[in-house]
Amino acid sequence: MAILPIVKYPDKRLKTKSQKVWEFDENLHTLLNDMYETMIATNGIGLAAIQVAKPICALIITLPREDGEQYEEDKLEIINPTLINATGASLYQEGCLSVPGFYEEIERFAEVSVAYQNRFGEEKVLKADGLLAIAIQHEMDHLNGVLFVDKLPLLRRKKFEKELKRIQKEQKSSQTN
């Protein structure tokens, strides 16, 4: 398994709409395994394939248990997801491996049902609420080229952009010193 480089905002590849997966083969399995290693190594709870420069409809999620640890047997691999039901509203402080260091409160559905395929192409349905519902929606947004910062109200979005420019400028000046 390998740790893959994560595509960071404002890289235009993050705006790419991912393509449906048709081949449930060893290449897909290797990618999913590498995505899991990458997500764990970077302290994430979810990762979409587009975040590792693979524009396919695949994502993984592994929520921490009560002890704060993530276990591989809890890993969800969700291929070609389709939202079939969504109800309620929930606010959650979200972050993103592609937008490191930024956290914003985002409104999402409180409960979702998703039809998807597993790594072998078998069709499944998952009903989720709480953090799992939030994570599924966040990662599914990535598959459509949408980042959580795209959901911010205009004033908060401008504040985010200003802060990002300041951080990038600081990083450039520290690299030249």
Pair 80, 67: CB distance under 8 Å = no
What is the set of active-site residues? 139
- What three-state secondary structure class fits 97? coil
Separation between Cα atoms, residue 53 and residue 27, nearest integer Å: 15
DSSP-derived secondary structure for 111-123:
EEEEEEE-TT--E
Q: List Cα–Cα distances, 62 to 71, 89, 120, 127, in angstroms.
A: 7, 22, 19, 15
The secondary element (H helix, E strand) that includes residue 139 is helix 130-143
The CA-atom distances, in angstroms, between 59 and each of 55, 62, 153 are 11, 10, 26
CA dist 17 and 32 (Å) reads: 19
For 65-76, letters b (16+ CB in 10 Å) and e give eeeeebeeeebb
